[in-house]
Every structure is written in C-alpha cells, then in structure tokens.
C-alpha cells in the first residue's frame, strides 16, 4: 500500500502545502539501484575523525580508500595523529577539509575513548559539522565493544555511544540521514571493511540508530568478496511468493546466488511468477510440514544460505485468543524454524552456511493483541544468540533481522490509524519497503557480515516502538 503523505509531499505543491501547515515531510530515501559496487563511495567525501587514542584508524582509512571515498581530515581534530599515521602506513591519500565544506559521511573512531573527556572529542568532531551533512548522508561511529574495554571509564564511554546515536538519529532523520554504531570486538578488525560497505551505502537506507557488534570472524571465513558476494551460493527463502520474502529472493539473486523460493502450496501460482521474474526456482512446501527439513535436504541439498522469512499474524487479546490461532502463529513463525534447522544441521548445510531469521520489532516492544506473534519474534532473537557458537564451529553464522513497519500485504491489512502511527513514529517518518529488509538479509548472508554472528539487527527507520 502506498504512503500517500510521502507521495504527496514529494510533489512541489505538496511540499509547499506541508510547509504551510507545518506537517513534517517524510524524506525521500535514496536506495541502492543495483548490486554492491567495487567503489561505492567514488566521488563522495567522508570526514574521518578519531579520539586521541583511536586504534581502528588503519582499518578505517584502508576500507574507505578501497571504497573510493575522498577522505577529509581537519587540523582541528584531536585524533588527527592516529589517522595520519594510519593513512601514511597504508599509503592512503588524505585531503584537508576546506572551511565550511560538507560531506556525505562523518566517520569517527571512538575506540580510544575514556569517560566524559573522550565523549567531548566526539562532540568536537560532529557538532560544528552536522549542519553540513548531506541529505541521505551517514554518521558512523566505531567503538570497542564495551566488554573489550580496558577501564571503567572506557566501558562507560563505549555504552554512552548507544544513547548518543539514538538521540542523533532523531535529529538527522528528517533529511533521510542515519546514525549508526559499530562495536568492534577483539580480533574483529578484518571484518570492519564489509560492515562499512553496508552501513555507509544506500544498501542500508532504512537502518537507523542501531549498533552492530562485530566479532572475530570464523577461521577461513571469506572477508573481501565485496562484488557479487553471493556468486556460486545456493539459497532458500521461505515465504518467497510475495512481500518481504519475494524481495529477499530477488536481492540474493542480484548478488549472484541461485535461489529456491518456498511457499505454501496454495501460493504456488504466485510463487512461480515471482521465481520466473528473478530467475529462481520455486518449491511449494508448507514450512510446518513434519518432513519439511528432509524435503529441503533431499530436493535441494548443499545449502549455503537459509532465510526463514515465512510468518503470519493472528491478532487477538490473549483472553479471546483461540488455541488454533496461538498454535498456528507459534508453529509457522518459530516451530518450523527450529524443526527445519535441526534437520538441516544433520544433513543439508554446506560448511560456512549462513542462516538468517526474520524477527520483528513486535518481539522487542510487544503489542496488545500479539502475545502469540511477540513470543515467536522474541524467541527468534534468543534462538540466534544461542546457536551462534554452534554455527561458528563450521565457519557459518546465524543472525536475525527485526523489521519495523514495512509496506506489505501484512501491514496493508492493519486498521488505518495503527498503520499511520506505525509509519510516522519513526525518525525517518515513513514505513520501510520490502527491499530494505532484503538488503539487510543479503548483507547478513554475505562475506560482508563475516564478523556478525548471533545478532539481531533492527531495520526500522528508528521506529520508536521498543527503541
Ligand atoms: N510487514 C511488516 O511490517 C513486518 C514487520 C515485522 C516483521 N515482519 C515479518 O516479515 C516476514 C514477511 O512478512 P510480509 O509482510 O512479507 O508478510 P506477507 O504476509 O506479505 O508474506 C508472508 C509469506 O509467507 C508465506 N507463508 C505463510 N505461511 C506459510 C507456511 N506455513 N509455509 C510456507 N509459506 C508460508 C505466505 O504465503 C506469504 O507468501 C514475516 O515473518 C513477518 O512476521 C513483517
């Protein structure tokens, strides 16, 4: 269903009327139009700053350079020395920021930060520049994961950054810009480049005010296949006939994967149409069938990527909820994932396989009338945390994506007022599109996310629900 306010305020007359009425205008988000490029930041400037003892500048300077960015620095910055040293070592050219010059992105290495003095350095970096951030621009902060910090003051500063980006996201969202945080664990430095390719590009248009924790990559993990990152991979996507699942299937195929889309036998026709459009194959299968996992292993086998997207809502207050609605939601949204994975773990996954499960911000915030749905979507978050270690042993990973309000048939069926609230109570002031979830899933399924395991990433435009 289209967002009439967004469509209207994108016209010159609509813009003018919205301005006169003081109605906030949802920004037009710039989304990726094609697959991952070798130099996605070519022709764009990124200002790179650092806290005095920043340790991540070498990884940052090299990654930004390889992405084609023009890296700007300023003599006023406290952490200029580590940035210059890193750039010289990597033979990366730096440009001096001109007075009043704007930029597409501001990237700050907060890894050496301690206490309030460290946080003041972040203020000094961003405060004078923020008004010059480009529309649809990016603020990205990198810190040491709190558990890897050496002192109480560093731990405190690291956790303070989460509140900082959440507030900043609410300030810059109106121009379609986002603020995110990467928390770098011990040994995770080689995975920074992949995460930057997602969070600093249009592939992450609807990811706002989130923190992405990176851990040491699995042994032998592919770290730098950034173009056609899924070439040669076999992927399955459940619930692929329409909505988010169809977009996931299409985006995985765009990055080179051979995709098998799965949906209920009743949706076989729609599934066939979607799959022929993207050059994939369809398999009519109810994910709750007792033998679903065995059939996937037998009929496809050798899976590199498994996306558990099929999901339903059957909303009613718990006091009125019939048992069969409870069971249906629990079985489709959660039980099927557990059973299929258990079966694929014994037979069906290739080494290094990636599993991505679709959760929901409804599993984080909870909604009246969604005890069944909320339980399944929160269960997924715990499930991926618990299975991360097991997946890492074979070089793989399991993660979840928690969509916010996304424009699909599922949300079109909502009553008008909650639908409008779902869209507007977000820093980006609009609902997301299926492609936004598909981009995040594709990131998680690719070598770009080599440092991500056991995590849940919200893709919600900083929806205020449960934020
Ligand atoms: N749309 C949103 O705003 C939103 C928000 C948060 C989470 N999600 C989650 O995203 C996922 C996709 O949602 P959507 O909005 O695209 O929904 P949708 O209803 O448009 O599509 C869901 C697909 O899953 C399929 N499906 C349902 N039961 C199945 C079964 N037993 N076996 C196989 N396939 C089955 C359906 O036929 C359909 O094609 C769901 O898990 C949903 O909970 C959606």
- Of the residues 106, 373, 383, 405, which is catalytic? 373
DSSP state of 176: T
Q: Kindly provide the b/e burial profile for residues 427-437, where b requires at least 16 CB atoms within 10 angstroms of the residue's own CB.
A: bbbbbbbbbbb
pLDDT at residue 1 greater than cutoff 90: no
CA distances from 237 to 284, 298, 303, 386, 418 (A): 12, 16, 11, 22, 29
pLDDT at residue 256 greater than cutoff 80: yes
pLDDT of residue 6: 73
Domain 38-214 belongs to what architecture? 3-Layer(aba) Sandwich (3.40)
Average pLDDT (316-327) is 98
Q: Is the CB of 414 under 6 A from ligand 1?
A: no
Average pLDDT (19-37) is 86
Q: Is the CB of 309 under 6 A from ligand 1?
A: yes
Q: What is the C-alpha separation between 432 and 410, in angstroms, rounded?
A: 13
pLDDT at residue 181 greater than cutoff 90: yes
Phi, psi of 169 (to 5 degrees): -55, -40
Q: Is the CB of 244 under 6 A from ligand 1?
A: yes
Residue % of the chain over a pLDDT of 70: 97
Distance 348 CA to ligand 1 centre (A): 24
pTM equals 0.96
pLDDT band at 264, cuts 50/70/90? very high
Question: Range with the lowest mean pLDDT among 87-96, 152-161, 407-416?
Answer: 407-416
pLDDT of residue 314: 97
Atom of ligand 1 nearest to the CA of 313: 43
Distance 199 CA to ligand 1 centre (A): 25
Bridge partners, residue 140, by sequence = 107, 180
DSSP state of 235: E
pLDDT at residue 93 greater than cutoff 80: yes
Q: Is the CB of 408 under 6 A from ligand 1?
A: yes
Average pLDDT (177-197) is 97
**Secondary structure element (H or E) that encloses residue 384, with its range:** helix 371-393
Distance 176 CA to ligand 1 centre (A): 27
Give the tens place of pLDDT for each residue, 283-313: 999 999 999 999 999 999 899 999 999 999 9
Query: Which are the contacts of 298, defined by CB distance < 8 A and separation ≥ 6?
Result: none
Q: What is the C-alpha separation between 261 and 217, in angstroms, rounded?
A: 29
Q: What is the C-alpha separation between 394 and 110, in angstroms, rounded?
A: 33
Query: Domain 234-459 falls in which CATH fold?
Result: Rossmann fold (3.40.50)
Q: Where do the CATH 3.40.50.720 domains begin and end in the chain?
A: 38-214, 234-459
pLDDT of residue 76: 81
The answer to whether the Cα torsion of 340, 341, 346, 348 is positive or negative is: positive
Q: What is the C-alpha separation between 299 and 269, in angstroms, rounded?
A: 19
- 373 catalytic per annotation: yes
Q: Is the CB of 403 under 6 A from ligand 1?
A: yes
């Amino acid at each position: 269903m289209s967002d009439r306010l967004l469509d209207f305020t994108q016209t010159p007359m609509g813009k003018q009327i919205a301005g006169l009425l003081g109605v906030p205008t949802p920004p037009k988000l710039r989304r990726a139009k094609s697959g991952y490029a070798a130099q996605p930041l070519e022709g764009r400037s990124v200002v790179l700053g650092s806290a005095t003892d920043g340790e991540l500048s070498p990884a940052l300077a090299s990654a930004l350079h390889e992405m084609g960015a023009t890296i700007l620095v300023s003599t006023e910055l406290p952490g200029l020395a580590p940035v210059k040293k890193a750039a010289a070592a990597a033979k990366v050219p730096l440009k001096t920021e001109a007075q009043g010059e704007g930029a597409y992105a501001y990237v700050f290495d907060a890894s050496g930060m301690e206490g309030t003095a460290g946080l003041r350095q972040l203020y000094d970096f961003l405060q004078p520049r923020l008004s010059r951030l480009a529309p649809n621009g990016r603020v990205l902060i990198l810190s040491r994961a709190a558990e890897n910090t050496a002192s109480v003051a560093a731990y405190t500063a690291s956790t303070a950054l989460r509140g900082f980006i959440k507030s900043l996201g609410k300030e810059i969202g109106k121009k379609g810009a986002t603020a995110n945080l990467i928390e770098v664990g011990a040994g995770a430095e080689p995975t920074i480049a992949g995460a930057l390719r997602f969070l600093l590009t249009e592939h992450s248009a609807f990811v706002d005010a989130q923190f992405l924790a990176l851990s040491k990559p699995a042994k032998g993990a592919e770290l730098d296949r950034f173009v056609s990152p899924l070439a040669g991979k076999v992927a399955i996507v459940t619930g692929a006939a329409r909505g988010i699942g169809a977009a996931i299937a299409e985006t995985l195929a765009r990055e080179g994967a051979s995709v098998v889309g799965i949906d209920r036998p009743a949706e076989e026709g729609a599934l066939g149409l979607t799959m022929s459009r993207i050059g994939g194959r369809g398999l009519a299968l109810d994910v709750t069938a007792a033998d679903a996992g065995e059939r996937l292993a037998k009929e496809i086998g050798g899976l590199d990527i498994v996306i558990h997207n099929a999901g339903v809502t059957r909303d009613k207050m718990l006091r009125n909820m019939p048992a069969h609605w409870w069971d249906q939601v629990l079985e489709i949204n959660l039980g099927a994932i557990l059973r299929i994975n258990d079966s694929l773990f014994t037979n069906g996954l290739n080494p290094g396989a990636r599993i991505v499960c679709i959760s929901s911000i409804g599993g984080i915030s909870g909604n009246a009338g969604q005890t069944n749905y909320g339980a399944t979507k929160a269960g997924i978050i715990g499930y991926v945390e618990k299975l991360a270690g097991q997946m890492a042993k074979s070089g793989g990973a399991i993660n979840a994506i928690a969509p916010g309000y996304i424009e699909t048939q599922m949300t079109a069926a909502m009553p008008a007022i909650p639908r409008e609230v779902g869209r507007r109570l977000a820093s980006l002031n609009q609902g997301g599109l299926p492609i936004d979830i598909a981009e995040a899933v594709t990131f998680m399924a690719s070598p770009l996310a080599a440092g991500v395991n056991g995590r849940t990433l919200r893709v919600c435009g900083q929806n205020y629900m449960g934020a």
